Structure 1
Amino acid sequence: MVYVIYKVIRCLLLDPNPESALNEEAGRLLQEDYNEYVARARLYTDVHACHHLRNLKAVKVTHESDSHGILRDTNAPSSKKTAGKPAVQRHISATKKALKRL
C-alpha cells in the first residue's frame, strides 16, 4: 500500500496538475508564466529545503579516537579546560553565556 502512495506522489511531482486546488497560485503561475514559476520554486527550495543542509554543516561534529579506541567529541568542552576553574567562575561564565543568547 505504501508503495502505491509513493508511486502516486512521484507521478504528481513529475507531472503536476495546474488545475489542482491544492495550490491555486502555483497552478496559475505555471500556466501563465513558466519562468516566474521556476524562479519562485527555486526561491522556495533555497529557503526551505537547503536550510537543513546549512545546519548540518554548521553543527558538524568531528570525532577522534583516543588511545583506548573510544570515540570522543572534539567540539565538546573538555574536563581539562574546566577542571582548573573554581565552580563559582564556571557558574558565572555559564550564566553570562545564557544571558548573551537572550
Structure 2
Amino acid sequence: MRARIYLQHPGKDETVAVATGFSWGACLLGFIWALSKRMWFAAFVMLGVSLVLFGMGLWGETADLIGLVLSILFAVACGAYGNRWHRWTLEKRGYIVL
C-alpha cells in the first residue's frame, strides 16, 4: 500500500491526502487527471504536449512510430511525477504538510 502525505490549509479545515509513488490516473488520463486536481497550468502543458505528439503522428510512418514512443514515454513521466506535481501545486496554494 502506498504512503500518503496529508496537507492542510492553515485558514481552512480542509485536509488533502496526496499519494506518493506512481500515479496511474496521471499516466492514463493525462490532462483530464490534472483538471480534476485543479492543476490548471499542468493540465494546459500536458494537453499541449499531447497535441504536439498527436500532430507528430500525422506526418508519416516513421514520425508515427516516434510519436507513439514519445507519447508512451510522456505518459509514464506524467505518472511518475504526477503526485509530486499535485503536492507542489497544493504547497504553492498555501497548504502545509501535517
TM-score interval for Structure 1 and Structure 2 normalised by the shorter chain = under 0.3
Task: Considering Cα pairs closer than 8 Å and 6+ residues apart, tell me whether 1 or 2 has the greater RCO.
Answer: 2
Give the TM-score normalised by the residue count of structure 1: 0.26
Give the TM-score normalised by the residue count of structure 2: 0.27
